[in-house]
Amino acid sequence: MLDNGKIFLYWGFIDLSEKKLDRRKRYTRKVLKESLITLLAEKPISSITVKEICEMADINRSTFYTHYSDHYDLLSKIEEEITADMNKYLSSYSFTLEEESVQMTQKLIEYISKNKFMFQTLLNKNGDPTFEKRLMNIAQRFMMNNWRGVTHLDEVNSRYLSTFVVSGAINVIKDWIENDMDYSPIEMAVMINNFTNYGLSNFD
């Protein structure tokens, strides 16, 4: 049986649509997701089998297939739920001004910090590269929307600049996670925004 204590704290934000399901179905999906995340922390999705997931979750395979077509489908659903929640989360903040940008970055990093194991697993070498791309697309879209009317960049230059900024920020956050979050969220938010706004000139 899966030891839920390790991951339960990281699963509070997942899939609001599951509120419509009965208690047994919610439990089944929760333990299957937790089992896959636990296995992904150790090896890539290509090396994981439905049988392993079911054994860890103490769920039979026929029950698994009533919810998901295979383990790739399960992973895709996990990623969709996380990115949908992050999309909703970011939509509640405005970060046009520099001060607001720092605050938004801090809240995003706090969100990641609270779900450390989940993000550490999905962004590690065993994770699905499309998850990182999903995160980049969300952040890039919000950044470009909030730059509109504020900068003099055209759409093409704005897109390339946001790609540069977001990819750098995500890789800094990945490094921060791997270093056991050695700085506080506000320290990381200020650091990332300093890198973005001032680059190397901030260290002259």
Would you say residue 98 has pLDDT above 80?
no
Q: How far apart are CA 110 and CA 29, in angstroms?
A: 26
Q: Is 93-203 in CATH node 1.10.357?
A: yes
- Closest by CA to 189, choosing from 123, 106, 112, 120, is 106
For residues 80 and 93, which has the higher predicted lDDT (pLDDT)?
80
Q: Which CATH topology does 4-73 take?
A: Arc Repressor Mutant, subunit A (1.10.10)
Identify the pLDDT of residue 152.
62
Domain-wise residue ranges, the chain:
4-73, 93-203
Q: Which residue has the higher pLDDT, 7 or 126?
A: 126
Residue 41 CB burial class (10 angstroms; 0-12, 13-18, ≥19): middle
**Residues 66-83: what's their mean pLDDT?**
94
Confidence of residue 37 (pLDDT cuts 50, 70, 90): very high
Q: What is the pLDDT of residues 4-22, one digit of tens each?
A: 444 443 445 545 455 556 8
How confident is the model over 128-173, as pLDDT tens digits?
Answer: 888 888 888 877 776 665 555 555 667 777 778 778 888 888 889 8
Task: Report the pLDDT value the prediction gives residue 175, as an integer from 0 to 100.
Answer: 92
Spatial CB neighbours of 202, under 8 Å, sequence gap ≥ 6: 194, 195
